[in-house]
Each structure stands twice: as structure tokens, then as C-alpha cells.
């Protein structure tokens, strides 16, 4: 984790999150709140914005799969979005990659792109970071964008 390498221990950051009463927010939002005085943003709000707008572009089956992942993220935080977790989500919902490909109507490469696009939407497409001009450097340094 980049923040830990820079001397910001996760336990200390978690303590700050708790003091600020932001347990339901990602660390990106905590850091953004401190650095840029952005409003406190909970994961539930990010998920709601993505589900209200971006998710509609997908088929019903794709929406169902993405909604499941978003629900895991909302409950457990950004670490659920690690690319390494995608096969686990496929197994939970479809039991096999081939079943996922057939049900979702897309290749593995397309599935990965959709997954990564969802991550982007949570942090950029929701308008939260755009509105307050949180830089991509902050996004990268906080390890909130988990693309690979």
C-alpha cells in the first residue's frame, strides 16, 4: 500500500476515519475531506449514484452481476474492488468463467474492462471527485483505484 510506504500506517488512518465519524467512507473520501474540505461521502452514496446512472447502460444480467459487486463494496470497502477478486465474484454468481461468459454475453477481456469501468465510475463518474477537483494523483496515492 502506497500510503503505508509513505509513512501513513493503516491503523492510524483508520483511527482518523473513526474520529471523523467516516467509518462508511473510503480512505480517499477521508483524505479528500481533510485536504480539500469536500463533503463527507459514504460508499452507499457512491453506489447509489452508479446504480442510478451508469448501470443502466448494461443488460439486466450484467446489471445484476455489477450490483452484486457494488453491494460487496458498499458493505466492505474498496479492497473488494481489487482485480484479483473478479474471479471470486464470478464464482459466487456463476460458478464458472464459462457460465459467466455465456450469461453476461461478453468475453473475459470485456468483463475485465466492464469491471474496471465500474471502478472508474465509483470514483470519477459519480461526479463527487470531479465536482471537487480531486486530482488523479490523490486517487493514485490513496490506492483507491484498484485497476490491476
- The model's pLDDT over 59-91, given as tens digits with 9 standing for 90+, comes to 999 999 999 999 999 999 988 999 999 999 999
CA-to-CA distance for 37 and 101, rounded, in angstroms? 43
Sign of the dihedral defined by the CA atoms of residues 146, 113, 122, 64, in that order: negative
Report which of residues 120 and 145 the model is more confident about. 120
Of 5-9, 43-47, 49-53, 70-74, where does mean pLDDT reach its minimum? 5-9
CA-to-CA distance for 19 and 108, rounded, in angstroms? 42
User: Does residue 124 surpass a pLDDT of 60?
Assistant: yes
Using CA atoms, how far residue 111 sits from 19, 101, 115, 116, in Å, is: 38, 8, 6, 9
Report angle CA 114, 115, 121 to the nearest 5 degrees: 85
**Predicted pLDDT of residue 40:** 86
Of 20-24, 115-119, 121-125, where does mean pLDDT reach its minimum? 121-125
What grid cell was written down for 106? 461478453
Amino acid at each position: 500500500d502506497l500510503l503505508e510506504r509513505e509513512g501513513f500506517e493503516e491503523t492510524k488512518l483508520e483511527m482518523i476515519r473513526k474520529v471523523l465519524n467516516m467509518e462508511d467512507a473510503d480512505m480517499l473520501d477521508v483524505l479528500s475531506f481533510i485536504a480539500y474540505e469536500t463533503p463527507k461521502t459514504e460508499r452507499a452514496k457512491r453506489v447509489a449514484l452508479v446504480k442510478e446512472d451508469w448501470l443502466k447502460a448494461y443488460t439486466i444480467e450484467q446489471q445484476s452481476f455489477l450490483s452484486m459487486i457494488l453491494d460487496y463494496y458498499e458493505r466492505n470497502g474498496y479492497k473488494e474492488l481489487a482485480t484479483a477478486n473478479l474471479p471470486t465474484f464470478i464464482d459466487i454468481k456463476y460458478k464458472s468463467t464459462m457460465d459467466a461468459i455465456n450469461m453476461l454475453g461478453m468475453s473475459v477481456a470485456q468483463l475485465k474492462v466492464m469491471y474496471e469501468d465500474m471502478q472508474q465510475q465509483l470514483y470519477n463518474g459519480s461526479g463527487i471527485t470531479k465536482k471537487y477537483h480531486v486530482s488523479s494523483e490523490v486517487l493514485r496515492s490513496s490506492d483507491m483505484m484498484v485497476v490491476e
